[in-house]
Structure 1
Amino acid sequence: MTSDARPARPSTPTEIRERLTDAVRDGLPAAIADLSRLVRIPSVSWDGFDPRHVQESAETVAALLTDLGVFDTVTIERAPLPGSGELGQPAVLARREPRGGRPTVMLYAHHDVQPPGEEGDWQSPPFEPTLRGDRLYARGAADDKAGVLAHVAAIRALLEVQGSDPDLGLVVFIEGEEEFGSRSFEAMLAAHRELLAADVIVVADSDNWTTTTPSLTIGLRGNTAFQLNVSTLGHASHSGMLGGAAPDAMLALVRVLASLHDDDGAVAVEGLTSHTQEVPPFTEVRLREDAALLEGVSSIGRGEILHRLWAQPAITVTGIDAPSVQNASNTLLPSVTVKVSCRVAPGQSAREAFMAIERHIRARTPFGAHVTFSAVDLGDPFLVDTSGWAVDDVLTAMEEAWGETPQLTGVGGSIPFIAQLAQTFPEAQVLVTGVEDPETRAHSPNESLHLGVFHRAILTEALLLARLDGAVSLP
């Protein structure tokens, strides 16, 4: 079709909604094809994995943004890691300046992925997108390469309906190491602050209430992770000869870790706080299904289930360095190291939480055992200010796209960089959306994307961008 035959630019809210709906629907096969091409690239950002794959992924994303033909600049950037001369993984940055007094919106996602884990745990190869029913299975299919393509597809639809020269300012920030702790994120913000400056920030890295009901995430727990080493002996000793008199490190460690929770499984560390908030109903049955609790295993903690998940602290031991069962001998262990992860409730800084845990552990370490803390990683929680106009805009767009009233939710996981974004751009309104659902299994084997959710997430963002473009004010 030639430009002369292009349909006239719509001039009423109803026309805009109808044309955007058609454009998103018609563009969905191309979005799925682009997503499939992107997830075939095993862009694991962790140490020990080939960084060339992350570079290839960044180049693919940059090409997708360049092909839109709307940005003034599209670049691949790397920033230094803290305390090191090394550079972090590549991010893709793009910008288009606003016109006519319109706002600028930043669209964030990340193109790196978690390691696949054991391939035998997958029903299909982790980096070969496989369609089963209405879900696309692959590592990164949802988290968060679908977020990348939601941005691309929404811009495509906007340009098709509103024309190739919108007034809206656009910034795209596709990070390359979110799954490895966003280590160079702060340096990236400092180096490109002017390029990234925006009035509204859309972070497409969260989930939805169900596959048919959307969510706007308004609260995120922070994280405090560290390694704890407990030592009691100068060297290993025979457990039969000296056991019962000489305390081994594992005994001391078990006692320390047991003190972190009370008999109900609730966190028992003085100084860790909870956030006061109302939560929607959530049944024990749904928790059992979502968490795959084994028969007879009970939930832990106290209070409403979602309050425990969104607004209370949680402590988990996520790793341990100790002899395996296969290599175990009758030995008193001199030293043991564990990795501890604490989720910090909104309203408390991650550093304050770490200091409370450190005090607790030092006060309860038995037998005079020596403890050291290392590899401390802190990320602050975040609360969205729901009074801003952009929140009303995105909730309206969600309801139009999904045909359901959106649910305002918290998230038990952590996205620490959101707090960094808010600190760098304090005047910007942050909107945390997503393309996941309760069955996505992000970070786990058989991660998947529900294609209906993907479709509606794209349409939501296209409608939001149309509102922000302001050519016609959607009701």
Structure 2
Amino acid sequence: MTSMNAEIPQTFSNRAGTINVDALKSAVDATFDHTLERLKTLVSIPGIAWPSFDPAELERSAETVAEFVREAGFADVQILRCNKTDGTPGGPAVVARRLAGPGKPTILLYAHHDVQPPGDSTLWNSEPFVAEERDGRLYGRGAADDKAGIMAHLASYAAATQVLGDEFGLGVTLFFEGEEEAGSPTFRTFLETHRELLAADVIVVADSSNWKVGVPALTTSLRGLVDGTFEVRVLDHAVHSGMFGGPVLDAPTLLSRLIATLHNDDGSVAIEGLVGKDDVVEDIDEEQYRADASVLDGVRLAGSGSIASRLWTKPALSIIGIDAPAVDVASNTLIPAARAKFSLRLAPGQDPDAAMDAVEEHVKTHAPFGAKVTFTPGERGNAFATDTASTAARIAMWALGEAWGVPAVEMGIGGSIPFIADLTETYPEVQILVTGVEDPDSRAHSANESLHIGDFRNAVLAEALMLARLNVGGL
């Protein structure tokens, strides 16, 4: 959970004569323009796994990914899915496999081809589903999250197999999910159904970020997540605000008062029973954080302790939606009910069920003016911390540093990837690595999402080096 320079093991170095770094770099460079064009093609497909969007586009996304997988050299390619609990089909996942040779480990490469909705189109500087290069970055929905992850996997595999030829005996499984941005509703069922197909010694999840442009990172911790809604109701129905206003407060006002109880005066989360630590050694520069998060001048930062701990090892609660009449259609009535959706990020070590119970207890205990509060739990997912001393992690740190030409760092991420808990529970002996192609200005999920093209090239090379090292030395 602390950021530190990588100690590069000499046995992994090119001087040992076991890995031809220059040849791998040349192979990556020779096909990089093609890789980038393939990525642009994927960005053009609005594959969104939410029920309100056209499922045909998600199918087209899966079929296009499967085509690119075959092009990369995989013969055994399938599009698979499992049903949700309500019987409706889950998102289409693309799975491909190359069996390991004698004595060789198997690595599973994960990414997802579905994307977030584009949101308000007026906030974009270019069309969200038309990939556009500007100032060394590629803009478009999914350019960074996570279609670049798919292309990094495919391009690195192609480079490694080209350079190593018949010497490449590593087992490689590709798992490109099709519903991650919708909460991975069938992920656990998918793992249980295809447990043997997806079994591996190492799993690389390419769905995270680097420290900054020009400095690679291995993500060593992720916060967990719970979300849900709470509704405040004060009236059976709306009434005239002039005739009845005064003795009773409207629901939006009381909802606001309830929301205000969720944080202390310094902005830290006020819900009792949540865990958190201030144990991150190397901090994040406040000026850099403010710039990356686009914090306006004069806005005071919330919480206490190091900024890194506030991002990685402490809880963070946000209100991400409110149901109340819009201003443009508001009438002069006392609103009977209003609802808010919360998103609570959990520190490593926090039990999600206990956290959900704590939120429910808080909002019901703090119901203002005796208002009726209805709590509805939503998604929940565990935090994650990797074993940085594992062989796979050490190989990853070496490969990242070699590809970028600067030491890689270990870092936490404030976000959550809940399905990683499913991976660790299903495959308890597997070594999981969380990597990625994003940087602090990638703006994943937001307007003007983008990918730094130079770092994308480095990410492809780093993974090719990892594959070559695992092929040569195993675990």
TM-score, normalised on structure 1? 0.94
CA offset at residue 376 of structure 1? 1.4
Cα pair 2:111 2:177 within 8 Å, conserved: yes
Q: 1:66 aligns with which of 63, 70, 73?
A: 70
1:271 counterpart = 2:265:
no
Aligned to 2:84: 81
Aligned-partner Cα distance in 2 for 1:419–1:117: 29
CA offset at residue 285 of structure 1? 1.0
Aligned to 2:466: 464
Aligned to 1:380: 382
CA offset at residue 74 of structure 1? 1.1
Q: 2:305 aligns with which of 292, 303, 306?
A: 303
Aligned-partner Cα distance in 2 for 1:121–1:181: 25
Residue by residue over 1:338-390, the C-alpha shift from the partner in whole angstroms, topping out at 9 and shown as x without a partner, is 11111111111211111111111111112221111225111111111212111
Aligned-partner Cα distance in 2 for 1:365–1:15: 63
Aligned-partner Cα distance in 1 for 2:425–2:17: 35
Q: 1:30 aligns with which of 31, 34, 40?
A: 34
Aligned to 1:220: 222
The one-letter code sitting in structure 2 at the alignment partner of 1:57 is S
SS at 2:389 equivalent = coil
Structure 1 segment 149-168 matched on structure 2, within 5 A: 149-163=151-165, 166-168=168-170
Cα pair 1:229 1:373 within 8 Å, conserved: yes
Cα pair 2:207 2:434 within 8 Å, conserved: yes
Aligned-partner Cα distance in 1 for 2:136–2:383: 34
Aligned-partner Cα distance in 2 for 1:415–1:86: 23
Q: 1:54 aligns with which of 55, 58, 62?
A: 58
Change (3 A) 1:75 1:335: same
Cα pair 1:70 1:165 within 8 Å, conserved: no
Q: 1:365 aligns with which of 364, 367, 374?
A: 367
CA offset at residue 230 of structure 1? 1.1
Cα pair 1:221 1:411 within 8 Å, conserved: yes
Cα pair 2:104 2:474 within 8 Å, conserved: no
Residue by residue over 1:388-415, the C-alpha shift from the partner in whole angstroms, topping out at 9 and shown as x without a partner, is 1111111111111111111111111111
Aligned to 2:104: 102
Aligned to 2:257: 255
CA offset at residue 247 of structure 1? 3.3
Change (3 A) 1:15 1:282: closer
SS at 1:174 equivalent = strand
Aligned-partner Cα distance in 2 for 1:275–1:462: 36
Structure 1 segment 385-400 matched on structure 2, within 5 A: 385-400=387-402
RMSD of aligned Cα (Å) = 1.7
Aligned to 1:286: 288
Cα pair 1:43 1:53 within 8 Å, conserved: yes
CA offset at residue 13 of structure 1? 2.9
Cα pair 2:105 2:171 within 8 Å, conserved: yes
1:16 counterpart = 2:20:
yes
1:43 counterpart = 2:20:
no
CA offset at residue 15 of structure 1? 5.8
Q: 1:143 aligns with which of 125, 142, 145?
A: 145
Structure 1 segment 436-475 matched on structure 2, within 5 A: 436-470=438-472
Aligned-partner Cα distance in 2 for 1:246–1:307: 42
Residue by residue over 1:328-347, the C-alpha shift from the partner in whole angstroms, topping out at 9 and shown as x without a partner, is 22211111111111111111
Cα pair 1:189 1:196 within 8 Å, conserved: yes
Cα pair 1:70 1:164 within 8 Å, conserved: no
Greater CA deviation, 285-294 or 311-320? 285-294
Corresponding residue pairs, total: 462
CA offset at residue 473 of structure 1? 8.0
The one-letter code sitting in structure 2 at the alignment partner of 1:21 is K
1:343 counterpart = 2:345:
yes
Identical-residue share of aligned pairs (%): 49
CA offset at residue 68 of structure 1? 2.6
Cα pair 1:275 1:347 within 8 Å, conserved: no
Greater CA deviation, 267-276 or 10-19? 10-19
Aligned-partner Cα distance in 2 for 1:164–1:58: 30
Aligned to 1:432: 434
Greater CA deviation, 84-93 or 11-20? 11-20
CA offset at residue 29 of structure 1? 0.8
Aligned to 1:7: none
SS at 1:163 equivalent = helix
Change (3 A) 1:165 1:95: farther
Aligned to 1:192: 194
The one-letter code sitting in structure 1 at the alignment partner of 2:83 is P
Aligned to 2:5: none
The one-letter code sitting in structure 1 at the alignment partner of 2:144 is A
Residue by residue over 1:411-468, the C-alpha shift from the partner in whole angstroms, topping out at 9 and shown as x without a partner, is 1111101111111111000000000111111111111111111010000100000011
Aligned-partner Cα distance in 2 for 1:14–1:198: 24
Aligned-partner Cα distance in 2 for 1:94–1:166: 17
Aligned-partner Cα distance in 1 for 2:104–2:315: 40
Cα pair 1:266 1:302 within 8 Å, conserved: yes
The one-letter code sitting in structure 2 at the alignment partner of 1:25 is D
SS at 1:224 equivalent = strand
CA offset at residue 11 of structure 1? 12
Cα pair 1:43 1:112 within 8 Å, conserved: yes
CA offset at residue 18 of structure 1? 1.3
The one-letter code sitting in structure 1 at the alignment partner of 2:67 is A
Kindly report structure 1 stretches of 4+ aligned residues shifted beyond 3 Å. none
CA offset at residue 327 of structure 1? 1.6
SS at 1:95 equivalent = strand
Aligned-partner Cα distance in 1 for 2:90–2:278: 37
Q: 1:117 aligns with which of 116, 119, 123?
A: 119
Q: Which runs of 5+ in 1 are unaligned?
A: 1-9
Aligned-partner Cα distance in 2 for 1:419–1:318: 24
Q: Which runs of 5+ in 2 are unaligned?
A: 1-13
Change (3 A) 1:97 1:276: farther
